Chain A
Amino acid sequence: MKTVRMLVPALALALGGTAGTALAADVRIATEGAYAPWNYLDDSGELAGFEIDLGNALCERAGVECEWVQNEWDSIIPNLQAGNYDAIMAGMSITEERMESIAFSDAYYPPDPSRYLTTAGTELDIENLEGKRIGAQGATIQAAYAEETFGEDNTILTFETPDQSIADLMAGNLDLIIADGSYLMPIAEGSNGAMVLTGPYVMIGNGVGMGLRQGEDELATSMGEALEALKADGTVDALIKEYFDAGPFFAE
């Protein structure tokens, strides 16, 4: 009995720490937190990245209190629809298919060509791949593209998080990876030549935007106006320059 009586406060204490902040903010924004430099956990364990900075700037401009929620990629759209949060900023490309289930803001990053990443010294003929093991993150436009383009003659492997696919490429379990260029480029650079970008640029997707529930026009309007203003005053371009060393894309 003594143990039980001690457990109850311990349980309440440990739980209070995680649950206390829930639902306090006006707008809850979900991100994956495993997609540097878009969104990631920094060394202090906090969410950081291009989208975190941009999202905070958007909320400040729109005059709302925002809270970030970390959610796994493969359930990020269902949980938006379920009302667990109000918006998604997770490097999500605007596609026709996703537009059927959710709404999008205007793009805050222009269409980002997908790239192929492979290990140094691997010769690949992207046009005629056969018997290769190709990695992509599950439920992404690249996974769909790889399945459609290479699925017949190759093995397509999908991963829950993109860094798992990188680990498997390095371990020799994959021949190549297809993913957003903006994600793969810093990895290729940082790997000191161990991994290289190869093959053509693949244009899929229509830019990256904020995912919203359909029919929530008030939030869509206020976020849309804030984004418009931040594009006009150069904030978005400055952030893109800072994180991706690219642009400017939205300068007047």
Chain B
Amino acid sequence: MLDALIAWTAGTFGEGPAGTLAYLTNGKHLAFYASVRFTLIAAFAGAAIAVVCGLLGTAALRSRIAPLRWIGTGYTTIVRGVPDVLFFLFLPLAFEQSVEWVMAQQACPAEALAESGRWPPCQAAQWFLTTTDYLVLACFTLGIVYGAFAANVINGAMNAVPRGQLEAASAYGFTPGQVFWRFQVRQMWVYALPGLSNVWMLLLKATSLLSLLQIQDMVLWANRIGAPNFIPRVGAVHGDWRWRYYLALFVFYILLTLLSEHLFRRLQRNASRGMAIG
């Protein structure tokens, strides 16, 4: 099986195994492999922000103050309902333009501000976004979007902690704060982990949208390298090979999924140690 696979690839990308290896390790391919960093950064930083947003969202949802509850409900309902592609396009652009608007109010002369139809009103208010800026915005977008899902999961998990345990804890003389942190929140994680692992998978998949923000990620490189080329001086001459590179991405995401499932299982085992559930 493996031999057949190696033989197949060896004949597919170049003259023999050496040619294939040379092709798969040229600068273009190295750039393609290196672009994995954008995906991983977006996934991990996005997930970290999502957990924070999720906890804040849960706190708002369960707040005793009505307006905070409304904010929490609004956040989870609206953000979960809008397609993530739209959010990916909307949030960074909206953020960029609002920053430029604020900059324009301070830096641009009054006549430039009054003149409509030009954005930004003057050169000083121009914010040139680098890849770095876009990546940071992408992380926050992922965090905000998937934080809404996480909030819902965590809220449900808080409710899933048996009431009897909390009552027993107060009966033993723990203060309400201790009951909350040491019993409800501590056990909440056990109930929340399966749901959170789901949210993580969704977030991982959404990292394939990075190229929408001009980030030169794996998807963009797969498009570039896989595109047909007929001019020898440009590089290897081949037809439309995009499917091969998409297939490689396919495998990459599946491997990440398997790895995540394994890690979450271990996490679950650790979190439910000494508990009757899990």
Taking a contact as CB atoms closer than 8 A, the residue among A41, A170, A190 that contacts B237 in the complex is A190
Which residue of B44, B230, B234 has the most chain A CB atoms within 10 A of its CB atom? B230
Q: Which of B123-131, B199-207, B258-266 contacts A (4 or more CB under 8 A)?
A: B123-131
The B contact surface, by secondary structure, is helix
**Interface membership of B256, Cβ < 8 A:** no
B175 at the interface (CB under 8 A from A): no
User: Quick check: is A128 within 8 A (CB to CB) of the other chain?
Assistant: no
Q: A3-B44, A18-B132, A19-B131 known; A36 and B229 CB under 8 Å?
A: yes
A190 near B128 with CB under 8 A, answer no
Docked-complex contact A170 and B239, CB < 8 angstroms:
yes
Nearest chain B CB to A134 CB, angstrom units: 19
A14 to B136, CA, bound (A): 11
Q: Is the CB of B44 within 8 A of A37?
A: no
- Asked whether, in the complex, the Cβ of A34 is within 8 Å of the Cβ of B224, the reply is yes
Supposing A15-B135, A186-B231 touch, asked if A45 and B128 sit within 8 A by C-beta, the answer is no
Verify A42–B228 contact, CB threshold 8 A: no
A163 in complex: contacting residue of B28, B123, B228, CB < 8 Å: B228
Decide yes or no whether B102 CB sits under 8 A from chain A.
no
Query: In the complex, which residue of chain B has the Cβ closest to the Cβ of A161?
Result: B227
Tell me the chain A residues, 127-180 only, with Cβ under 8 Å from chain B: 161, 163-164, 166-167, 170-171
Interface residues of A in 47-87 (CB under 8 A from B): 48, 72, 82-84
Task: State whether the Cβ of A189 lies closer than 8 Å to any Cβ in chain B.
Answer: yes
Contact code string B224-257 (vs A, CB < 8 Å = 1, else 0): 1001111111111101101000000000000000
Nearest A residue to B236, CB-CB: A43
Q: Which residues of B contact A170 (CB under 8 A)?
A: 228, 239-240
Assess whether B116 is interfacial by the CB under 8 Å rule.
Answer: no
Whole-angstrom distance between the alpha carbons of A40 and B132 in the complex?
A: 24
- Tell me the smallest distance from the CB of B17 to a CB of chain A, in Å: 18
- Contact indicator A18/B130 (Cβ below 8 Å): yes
On chain B, the residues within 8 Å of A34 by CB distance are 224, 227
Bound-state CA distance A145–B30 (Å) is: 39
Q: Is the CB of A82 within 8 A of B224?
A: no
B179 to chain A, nearest CB (A): 24
List A contacts of B28 (CB < 8 A): 41-45
Q: Which residues of B contact A24 (CB under 8 A)?
A: none
> How close is A227's CB to chain B, nearest CB, in angstroms?
24
The answer to whether B126 and A43 have CB atoms under 8 Å apart is: no
Q: Are A7 and B45 in contact (CB under 8 A)?
A: yes
Give the nearest-CB partner of B135 in chain A. Answer: A15
B44 surroundings in chain A (CB, below 8 A): 3, 7, 10
Closest to A162 in B: B227
Q: Interface 1/0s, chain A 94-111, versus B by CB < 8 A? A: 000000000000000000
Interface status of B41 (Cβ within 8 A of chain A): yes
Q: Complex Cα distance A163/B237, Å?
A: 13
Give the complex CA separation of A34 and B220 in angstroms: 12
Q: Which residues of B contact A161 (CB under 8 A)?
A: 227
With both chains docked as a complex, state the minimum distance between the C-beta of B172 and any C-beta of chain A, in angstroms.
30
**A36 touching B234 in the complex, CB below 8 Å, given contacts A14-B41, A45-B27:** yes
A46 interface residue (CB < 8 Å to B): yes
CA distance A48 to B23 in the complex (A): 18
Q: Which residue of A lies closest to B30 (CB)?
A: A45
B127 to chain A, nearest CB (A): 9
Asked if A191 and B230 make an inter-chain contact with CB atoms under 8 angstroms apart, the answer reads yes
Interface centre among B48, B132, B229, by most chain A C-beta atoms within 10 angstroms, is B132
| Contact across chains for A4 and B48 when beta carbons are under 8 A apart | yes
Picked from B27, B132, B240, the residue with its CB within 8 Å of the CB of A19 is B132
Give every chain A residue within 8 A of B230 (Cβ-Cβ). 166, 186-187, 189-191
Residues on the A chain within 8 Å of B182, using CB: none
* Interface 1/0 per residue, A12-25 and B, CB below 8 Å: 00110011001000
Give, as a whole number of angstroms, the nearest-CB distance from B32 to chain A: 8
**Quick one: closest B residue to A15, CB to CB?**
B132
Chain B residues near A171 (CB-CB < 8 A): 240
16 contacts between A and B (CB under 8 A): A15-B135, A15-B136, A18-B132, A19-B131, A34-B224, A36-B231, A36-B234, A37-B231, A43-B26, A46-B27, A48-B234, A83-B126, A167-B228, A170-B239, A171-B240, A186-B231
Q: With contacts A3-B44, A22-B130, A167-B242 known, what are 19 further pairs, Cβ within 8 A? A: A3-B48, A7-B45, A11-B45, A14-B41, A15-B132, A15-B136, A34-B227, A36-B231, A43-B27, A43-B28, A43-B235, A45-B27, A48-B234, A166-B228, A170-B228, A170-B240, A186-B230, A190-B230, A190-B237
- List residues of A whose CB falls within 8 A of some B CB: 3-4, 7, 10-11, 14-15, 18-19, 22, 34, 36-37, 40-46, 48, 72, 82-84, 161, 163-164, 166-167, 170-171, 186-187, 189-191
